[in-house]
Amino acid sequence: MADDTLRDASEKPLYDALRGWIDNRIGNVLFLGARFPELAAEMLERGISVMVVDVDMPRMEAFQKETRAVSGSSRRLGFDPRPYDSIRFEASSFNFALAWDGVPGGMDAPAFCKKVRRELKAGSNLYLRVPVRPASPLGLAPRIAEGPAARLLPAVARIERLAGDLLYAPDALDLEALREALGRWLKIEEVVPAGPLLSRLSMRVPGLADAAVTLPGVSRILGQLDQRLRTERWATEVLIRASKTLDMGKVFLTGSRFDPSLSGGRD
């Protein structure tokens, strides 16, 4: 990931965490969204099979082109343009699943977690980057929920909703509710929050956030400032590492693999 735009600087802590988690000795991986072709190419060079699911065909084609430009062989690269919720991969097919663009369209968090758990191998991980918001964006509601000021709760709730709409993405999920949904099927190992400033700028002024920064070091300096302010309480997005552990009910040990040749992969 280049660090030459404000959006890149905002996402860099999450991407760095992702790269630190990935074990290049693994066998099959699932990309839910055609993102990071350089990462896919690196895995292909190590003999790792990569399955990419994305309904956005132009993005899929660009990903395919960039990956093949870097990787010497794409024999292990597979594509599926169908919505993820309509695909039934074999149980225990993947060593990790990467959902950088959040919960796939057409699914809620519980359904997604249940499906991806089935398709992960025992001990494997889901890496989920998702927009989030707290139940009480300003932290006011919990303070007055009890006591004499409780009668003001309806008005405070309206203020909280307005603040939430201003500070967080429309599709942001309640982080605690997301934790609960994930916890039913996977074990949350780590949560990495994005900084509070650049992510909001990227959300509200995408044209500015995606423009190349011409002054040397500006995005890096702003990114460092943003990292100092990082806290889960104010984050607009987080990257979650959740594992399919052996102590969370029945696991599948079929050793099954997907065959890229059956899903669009070709040299």
Residues 3-56: pLDDT tens digits?
567 778 888 889 999 999 998 777 899 999 999 999 999 999 988 999 999 999
Contacts of 182 (CB under 8 A, 6+ apart): 109, 113, 128, 188, 240, 242
DSSP state of 194: P
d(CA 91, CA 121): 8
**List of the chain residues with pLDDT < 70:** 1-4, 141-143, 145-147, 149, 151, 208-209, 213-219, 246-267
pLDDT at 266: 39
pLDDT at 219: 66
Distance set, CA 167 to CA 138, 223, 244, 267 (Å)? 10, 19, 33, 45
Measure the CA dihedral 150/151/154/158, to 10°. -80
Q: Which of 167, 100, 92, 164 is nearest to 130 (CA)?
A: 100
- DSSP letters along 151-184, please? GGHHHHHHHHHHHHHHHS-TTPEEHHHHHHHHHH
pLDDT at 88: 94
